[in-house]
Amino acid sequence: MKILMFGRGVISTQYGWAFEKAGHNVTFYIRPESARGYNPEISVKILDARQKLAGVMHRETWTTKVITDIPDQHDYDLIIVSVQHYQFAKVADFLSPKIGKATVLIFNNFWTDPLQETALFPKEQLAWGFPLAGGGFDADGVLNGAILPDVHFGTFGTEPTTREKAVRALFTKTGFKIKEHSDFRGWLWIHFAVDAGFFSKVLEVRDVEKVFSSTKHLKDIMLQVRELLQLVEKRGINLSNNVQDIKMYRRPAWIGSLMVRFLLKISPPFTTMVYSHNNPEEAISYGRDVLKIARELNFKLPLLESKCKEFEM
């Protein structure tokens, strides 16, 4: 398959690497104004958990194929868009006239209505997913990341189309396991709320390792997420549609905190994802945008509101 990755960030790089290793033709689109800082060669340290819980470490210098323009008459089969939620509108404006006949996989988080956000794209050419990978670039430009074996895919109460099935098949044949969600809007908003709960505590403490090694801090996160899930429900989401994803936050907070610490002990890839994340702008945006919606709905979030200064409010 001929695949265009939009951008060469943490997520795009790791999945692009996995697809190329599986024999696919992978190209990265980089904005012209950013291209000067990009070397086609990139050093990666990827802990790949597709076949082993502890992960298999891959260290290499990888020469990527990079373009700074998307031709009108391109022949890409698939375009994968995985950007920050606050960047998506600008990306959609730019990319929507350029997709041609390609399927577009929307592969990032949303706190707004995802169908409204993608209204510029032909609906029949879209597929919806969410990555389970993470990490960050260090000061030397080395990507320290990890890929988990599962990938989330979803629809909005419909059956997957032929295009959507083809994208799922691509991931399956590349060694990933598919998790399906028929209420993907609900799943995305739940996931956003969970991330906001974790990010808010990290911003408050300003030390990610201290947060994840502390039962007290993790208990605070469990309570924070529980509060935020009430906001998700207030927005009209039926939480029971994604009950498996919220079980941990409905248990006593001390149990949830122990579950997170246990996961860190048994899963080096998960630990890498947590400790290598280094995007404070992303972390701030989650709390800021959650508070914005809460205020529009006149919905009180006392735990999050106490951290307003962390979100530059």
Separation of alpha carbons 305 and 144, rounded Å = 33
Residue among 264, 260, 308 nearest 287 (CA): 308
Q: Please name the residue ranges forming H helices in 152-239.
A: 162-173, 184-205, 208-212, 215-234
Residues 6+ apart with CB under 8 A from 270: 146, 148, 263, 264
Residue 312 is predicted with a pLDDT of 59
Whether 66 and 196 share a structural domain: no
247/166 Cα distance (integer angstroms): 31
Residue pair 102/79 in contact (Cβ under 8 Å)? The answer is yes
User: Are residues 301 and 177 part of one domain?
Assistant: no
Looking up residue 147, the CATH number of its domain turns out to be 3.40.50.720
Same-domain pairing of 198 and 81: no
Does 39 share its domain with 174? yes
Mean pLDDT computed over 88-109: 97
Q: What is the pLDDT of residue 81?
A: 99
On average, the pLDDT of the chain sits at: 95
Contact indicator for 26, 16 with CB cutoff of 8 Å:
yes
13 has pLDDT over 60:
yes
Looking at the fold, whether 114 and 40 belong to one and the same domain comes out as yes
Asked if residues 109 and 85 have their Cβ atoms less than 8 Å apart, the reply is: yes
Range of the domain at 292: 186-311
pLDDT tens for 173-230 read 999 999 999 999 999 999 999 999 999 999 999 999 999 999 999 999 999 999 999 9
- DSSP string of 48-107? E-SS-TT-EEEEEEEE--EES---TT---SEEEE---GGGHHHHHHHHGGG-TT-EEEE-
Tally of domains in the chain:
2
**191 and 131 part of one domain:** no
Which one of 182, 217, 237 terminates a domain? 182
Sheet of 133-137, strand order: 56-63, 41-48, 143-147, 133-137
168 shares its domain with 196: no
pLDDT exceeds 80 at position 42: yes
The structure tokens listed for 43 are 């050093």
The token pair at 2 is 């001929």
Contact 47, 145 (CB under 8 A): yes
User: The domain that contains 286 carries what CATH number?
Assistant: 1.10.1040
**Residue 155 burial (CB count, 10 A):** 17
Q: With a cut of 80, say whether residue 253 has pLDDT above it.
A: yes
Between 100-109, 242-251, 272-281, the lowest mean confidence (pLDDT) is in 272-281
| pLDDT 10s digits, 268-310 | 999 999 998 888 899 999 999 999 999 999 999 999 988 766 6
Three-state secondary-structure class, residue 256: helix
Q: Do 93 and 144 fall into the same domain? A: yes
